[in-house]
Amino acid sequence: MIERTLILEGTGRSLRLGAGETLLDGLERNGYRMRRSCRNGVCEICQITLLEGEVVQRYPAATLQGPTADVLACTATALSDLRVEIEGLRMPGVLAVKKLTCDISAIEKLNHDVYRVRLHLPATGSLATEFYAGQYLDIVLPDGKQASFSIGSAPEMGRELELHIRHIPDSAMSTAIVEHLLNQPSVQIELPKGDCYLKATEVAADTRLILAAASTGFAQVKSIVEHLLANQHSNPIHIYWAVRSADDFYLDKLPEQWAREHTHVMMHHVVSEPDGSPDWAGRTGLITEAILEDFSDFDDVEVIASGSPGMVYALLDALEAKGLKQEQMKSDVFAYAPRPK
């Protein structure tokens, strides 16, 4: 048997199937995902339409030819080059957004207005989900209203998710979310969402990372840092965490532990309104000023910014003036609050 070409109708893409490799194995080896439930004991979910070519199917045993023959990707191997149509096919790197009901396993107050919420994902394969470090989820309340929160745990934590939720008393939505989390055993979520994420396998060896966060934007930073450390990356990681008052910091010992145990991790706390923090002896001012004090060039830098649109665009403008290119910065702000053209 020899390698065959599999053309994916409607995508402009094709891939090579190994000798004797099933269509499903070849698709997944190349990063594609399609509907299937073989491992849960449900067969005939991975049906695809064969438009051109010939396959041999192990079960049900048959030799099938296009056009418009239905084959099972998990048992079919190619006898010729193929052209197929696959409903719901996901491209490499694209994760499916799912709505799940999670147990609320713990909730604790970290400072005067921030709660750490721990969620436990369902175990069943049909409800399993994936996310990338830096993505977010939506909490969906029983009345259908929803709000977005960065996932504060790394993908390597499996079924355990962590959120950092700031309670804003003047916001009815914020209060409703906190009351639900404090008083109910479970919550509905939608995930994963967001294009601002980082994959350890795609970080170049010579890249310096700047992770800039304001307030609970630290949750996104936490997910990314723990993902990198879990994958033993040694790229320089400069974390800038800005808050108005020193009382707004939380989980203080965690970033200190990162920096203490990993010499390539540098932690920078910045207080923007020091008049309200008379005992604060650390850095003060704006996060943009702190970064520009530490960096004279940005040729090999990648920036991930998590904060308000005002903070993110001010940072982008300041760094672009020093040579940073916009494609070197990622932020969810660019998607939900784009600048007018």
- Do residue 153 and residue 41 come from a single domain? no
Check residue 38 and give its pLDDT.
64
Residue 272: pLDDT band (50, 70, 90) is: very high
Among residues 277, 300, 298, 273, which one has the least CA distance to residue 287?
A: 273
Check residue 341 and give its pLDDT.
64
- Do residue 225 and residue 110 come from a single domain? no
The residues facing 267 across adjacent strands are 239
Mean pLDDT throughout 287-309? 97
Three-class secondary structure of residue 70 per DSSP: strand
- Do residue 178 and residue 243 come from a single domain? no
> For a pLDDT cut of 90, what percent of the chain falls above it?
82
Check residue 331 and give its pLDDT.
96
CA dist 156 and 135 (Å) reads 14
Mean pLDDT throughout 151-180? 96
Q: Which of 133, 166, 193 is the last residue of a domain?
A: 193
Overall size of the chain counted in residues: 341
Three-class secondary structure of residue 86 per DSSP: coil
Mean pLDDT throughout 163-182? 97
Q: Is 62 within the bounds of a domain?
A: yes
CA dist 198 and 332 (Å) reads 12
Mean pLDDT throughout 29-49? 76
Q: Is 92 within the bounds of a domain?
A: no
- Do residue 285 and residue 317 come from a single domain? yes
Tracing tokens 């960096």 back to the chain, one arrives at 295
Check residue 65 and give its pLDDT.
93
- Do residue 259 and residue 300 come from a single domain? yes
- Do residue 128 and residue 214 come from a single domain? no
Number of domains in the chain: 3
- Do residue 108 and residue 134 come from a single domain? yes
Q: Which of 193, 215, 234 is the last residue of a domain?
A: 193
- Domain harbouring 13, CATH code: 3.10.20.30
Within 10 A of 277 (CB to CB), how many other CB atoms are there?
A: 19
Q: Residues near 296 by Cβ (< 8 Å), separated by ≥ 6?
A: 322
- Do residue 182 and residue 239 come from a single domain? no
Helix H or strand E segment including 292:
helix 287-294
* Type of residue at 322: K
The residues facing 216 across adjacent strands are none
- Do residue 189 and residue 207 come from a single domain? no
Within 10 A of 309 (CB to CB), how many other CB atoms are there?
A: 15
Q: Is 341 within the bounds of a domain?
A: no
Q: Which of 85, 112, 135 is the last residue of a domain?
A: 85
Six-digit token string for 249: 């910091």
pLDDT at 39 over 60: no
How many whole angstroms from its chain centre is CA 144?
Answer: 23
Check residue 195 and give its pLDDT.
86
- Do residue 123 and residue 210 come from a single domain? no
Q: Is 204 within the bounds of a domain?
A: yes
Check residue 107 and give its pLDDT.
98
Q: What's the predicted TM-score (pTM) here?
A: 0.78
pLDDT at 127 over 70: no
Q: Label each residue of 240-283 as H, E or C.
A: EEEECCHHHCCCCHHHHHHHHHCCCEEEEEEECCHHHCCCCCCE
- Do residue 178 and residue 212 come from a single domain? no
Check residue 197 and give its pLDDT.
94
Among residues 320, 311, 249, which one has the least CA distance to residue 286?
A: 311
CA dist 168 and 248 (Å) reads 13
CA dist 14 and 59 (Å) reads 25
- Domain harbouring 270, CATH code: 3.40.50.80
Burial profile 178-196: b = 16 or more Cβ within 10 angstroms, e = fewer: bebbeeeebbbbbbbbbeb
The residues facing 138 across adjacent strands are 148, 190
Within 10 A of 121 (CB to CB), how many other CB atoms are there?
A: 20
Distance spanning both ends of the chain, measured CA to CA: 55
Q: What is the mean pLDDT of the chain?
A: 93
Six-digit token string for 270: 């910045």
Q: Where in the sequence is the domain holding 31, given as residue range(s)?
A: 4-85
Check residue 128 and give its pLDDT.
64
Check residue 45 and give its pLDDT.
79
